[in-house]
Amino acid sequence: MPKIPAICRTCGLMFPSGLAYMGPGMIVSRSFSGCPRCRSDAPILSGYTTLISGLVAFIISDEIEFSEKQRMIDAATSISSGKVRPAEAIASIDGDGAKVLREWTSLGISFASLLVAVASLLLAYSTSGGNQPLDSIAMEKFDETLATIQQPDSRIAPAYSQRPVAMGSKVKPQLKQGQAPTTSAKPPNENRKARRARMKKERTNKGK
Ligand SMILES: [Zn+2]
């Protein structure tokens, strides 16, 4: 059962909240889930199901050309990689694509990059003629990607930042004078990596 995501306003972490998605029309309001990284109360996304339905509607719409859908996904990719500013990218496309993109970026750059992954998959799936309901595929894919995606670093990325976040950038450990790099200086992303591996393992153990 997919979980509704929460975004921590303190450290920027996105994670599956304790709340399971119960079906279309489910309304979440003013609910919080404890952030596994910094222990703050993180708001559970209230418009999540609407957001997913909006995405699915956009992808399957007959009135929107394939090229337009692809253009929106490309623009979202450029935003999440930090190549362009959200406002510029939104201005470069029009119609429903711009509306969708505006919704995504209002939730933060990292969140937008997560949706890009989901949108690309949905577009490929719908063109290939698959007949599973896209809503449930979107939820599952979102859930899956959330567990593996590069998360903003609590020390550099404030929540809801519109500033491009360098994905996958490696921060060098800061060493004091005379300190050998091999002693206590652990790479800062080691914990994150370990956590990701663990979550992946847990997911597999749950049994598919
Ligand atoms: Zn946090």
CA of 111 to the centre of ligand 1 (A): 15
- Judged by average pLDDT, the poorest of 23-27, 59-63, 68-72 is 23-27
CA of 82 to the centre of ligand 1 (A): 22
CA of 202 to the centre of ligand 1 (A): 21
CA of 154 to the centre of ligand 1 (A): 7
Task: Compute the half-sphere exposure of residue 40: CA atoms within 13 Å on the CB side of its CA.
Answer: 16
pLDDT digits (tens, 9 = 90+) for 148-185: 876 766 554 444 544 444 444 444 445 455 544 444 44
Which alpha helices (H) appear in 1-133, and where do they start and end?
Answer: 48-60, 66-80, 86-92, 96-105, 109-127
How far CA 88 is from CA of 92, 100, 125, 195, in Å, comes to 6, 15, 29, 35
Is residue 146's pLDDT more than 80?
yes
Q: What's the predicted TM-score (pTM) here?
A: 0.67
The answer to whether residues 114 and 146 touch, using CB atoms and an 8 Å cutoff, is yes
